[in-house]
């Protein structure tokens, strides 16, 4: 039995693998601060509710940005969107490391959310371009970043 990956070039397989890692990283970035909320509250001397802005603002920006990246990927090209997303995630992560206040950390997390949101929509577009085993809407490993 022949698999679909046997017909893909090495460069395409590598791109899909890297995009899978990026999808995993974007989901990890979304949840990484959840367990840190009590420590963020202590570090920045704010209430737990204020510290939760780090998570809630990220989730809202992440969700809204996903609506934009699909059409933007069609218009500007998927490679450019993924490049921007990677840079935004990196810049936001670096800014988060050096955040001196909760507001700076929230802003850094907005940058990460803007980047991380792109990977989901672009990944779906790429999967549709190559087809999916089992037909449209089939669940397979690339949907969970594997």
- How far is the CA of 93 from the CAs of 9, 10, 53, 57, in angstroms? 33, 30, 16, 15
- Confirm whether 28 is domain-assigned: yes
pLDDT number for residue 47:
96
pLDDT number for residue 142:
47
pLDDT number for residue 137:
47
Distance of CA 104 to the CA centre of its chain: 20
Low-confidence ranges of the chain (pLDDT < 70): 1-6, 121-146
- The 3 state secondary structure assigned to the chain is CCCHHHHCCHHHHHHHHHHHHHHHHHHHHHHCCHHHHHHHHHHCCCCHHHHCHHHHHHHHHHHHHHHHHHHHHHHHCHHHHHHHHHHHHHHHHHHHHCCCCHHHHHHHHHHHHHHHHHHHHHHHHHHHHHCCCCCCCCCCHHHHCC
How many domains does the chain fold into?
A: 1
For residue 127, what are the domain limits?
8-144
- Confirm whether 78 is domain-assigned: yes
- Confirm whether 109 is domain-assigned: yes
pLDDT in tens, 41-71: 999 999 999 999 999 999 999 999 988 887 8
- Confirm whether 1 is domain-assigned: no
Which residues neighbour 63 within 8 Å (Cβ) at sequence distance 6 or greater?
117
- Confirm whether 85 is domain-assigned: yes
pLDDT number for residue 86:
85
- Confirm whether 3 is domain-assigned: no
pLDDT number for residue 112:
93
pLDDT number for residue 132:
55
């Amino acid at each position: 039995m022949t698999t679909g990956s046997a017909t893909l070039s090495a460069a395409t397989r590598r791109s899909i693998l890297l995009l899978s890692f990026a999808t995993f990283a974007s989901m990890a970035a979304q949840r990484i601060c959840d367990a840190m909320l009590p420590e963020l509250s202590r570090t920045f001397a704010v209430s737990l509710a204020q510290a939760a802005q780090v998570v809630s603002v990220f989730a809202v920006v992440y969700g809204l940005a996903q609506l934009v990246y699909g059409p933007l990927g069609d218009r500007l090209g998927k490679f450019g969107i993924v490049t921007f997303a990677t840079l935004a995630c990196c810049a936001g992560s670096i800014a988060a490391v050096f955040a001196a206040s909760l507001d700076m950390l929230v802003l850094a997390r907005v940058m990460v959310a803007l980047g991380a949101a792109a990977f989901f929509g672009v990944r779906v577009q790429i999967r549709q371009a190559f087809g999916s085993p089992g037909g449209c809407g089939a669940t397979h490993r690339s949907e969970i970043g594997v």
